[in-house]
């Protein structure tokens, strides 16, 4: 099968990158990760790119320069889809418009609830019974685009931010690949 070309944007540990890469090695998975972009040279996730021999590019500069250079890289590499996976820089409206319908993100809550940062602390504070993760299209508003997939986890009284993060991330590793399969109708 002809796989779509994907680029994963990271800033940190890159465990979602790892899960997408592992899934993408399956012949039937619809995308191939052709490029990893990081705005943080020290991002641990870069080690996964190295381990799996995926070309990567790190660039820590202001948003204008970052997007100008990255835009060229994405065009040169004929990237069809951009997967944000723990990417902590907010992309400009212009950049998002240029790749309309081609950028997806994973967020650690059941959107539209708990947009933004510190989701685990906030769900605990509001004594939620459930939380989870959401894969969604990126539009011009933060954590707002059309939802592709959600996965739910239950919260028990012993949970703290760290146990919750582990539980949610475990679901993320299934949610992201499944969302990609769903987009390309596999």
Q: Which residue is nearest to ligand GRF (CB)?
A: 86
Cβ 113 to ligand GRF shortest distance, Å:
14
* Per-residue contact string for residues 76-115; x = within reach of ligand GRF by CB under 6 A: ---------xx-------------------xxx-------
Listing DSSP states for 103-151 in one string gives EEEEESS-TTSS-SS-HHHHHHHTT-SEEEEEEEE--SSTT-S-EEEEE
- Closest to ligand GRF by CB, 79 vs 164, is 164
Place of tokens 């021999």: 53
Q: Which residue in 16, 23, 24, 38 binds ligand GRF (CB under 6 A)?
A: 16
Query: What strands lie across the sheet with 103-107, from one edge to the other?
Result: 56-58, 31-38, 4-10, 81-84, 103-107, 130-137, 147-154
Cβ 76 to ligand GRF shortest distance, Å:
25
> Cα dist. 54→35, 72, 124, 154, 186 in Å?
6, 18, 38, 36, 24
* Per-residue contact string for residues 35-74; x = within reach of ligand GRF by CB under 6 A: ----------x-----------------------------
Are 135 and 95 within 8 A, CB to CB? no
Q: Which residue in 15, 24, 38, 131 binds ligand GRF (CB under 6 A)?
A: 15
Number of alpha helices (DSSP H) and beta strands (DSSP E) in the chain: 6, 7
Catalytic residue status for 136: no
- Active site amino acids: 107
Contacts with ligand GRF by CB under 6 A lie at: 10, 12-16, 45, 85-86, 106-108, 133, 169, 172
């Amino acid at each position: 099968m002809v796989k779509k070309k994907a680029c994963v944007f990271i800033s940190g540990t890159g465990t979602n990158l790892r899960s997408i890469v592992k899934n993408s090695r399956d012949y039937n998975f619809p995308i191939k990760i052709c490029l990893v972009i990081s705005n943080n040279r020290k991002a641990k996730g870069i080690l996964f790119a190295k381990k799996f021999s995926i070309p990567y590019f790190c660039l820590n500069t202001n948003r204008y320069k970052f997007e100008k250079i990255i835009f060229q890289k994405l065009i040169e590499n004929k990237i069809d889809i951009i997967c944000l996976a723990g990417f902590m820089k907010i992309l400009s409206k212009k950049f998002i418009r240029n790749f309309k319908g081609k950028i997806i993100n994973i967020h650690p809550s059941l959107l539209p609830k708990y947009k933004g940062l510190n989701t685990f602390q906030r769900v605990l504070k509001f004594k939620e019974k459930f939380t989870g993760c959401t894969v969604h299209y990126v539009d011009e508003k933060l954590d707002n685009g059309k939802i592709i997939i959600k996965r739910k986890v239950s919260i028990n009284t012993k949970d703290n931010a760290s146990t919750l993060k582990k539980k949610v991330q475990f679901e993320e590793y299934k949610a992201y690949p499944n969302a990609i399969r769903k987009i390309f109708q596999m």
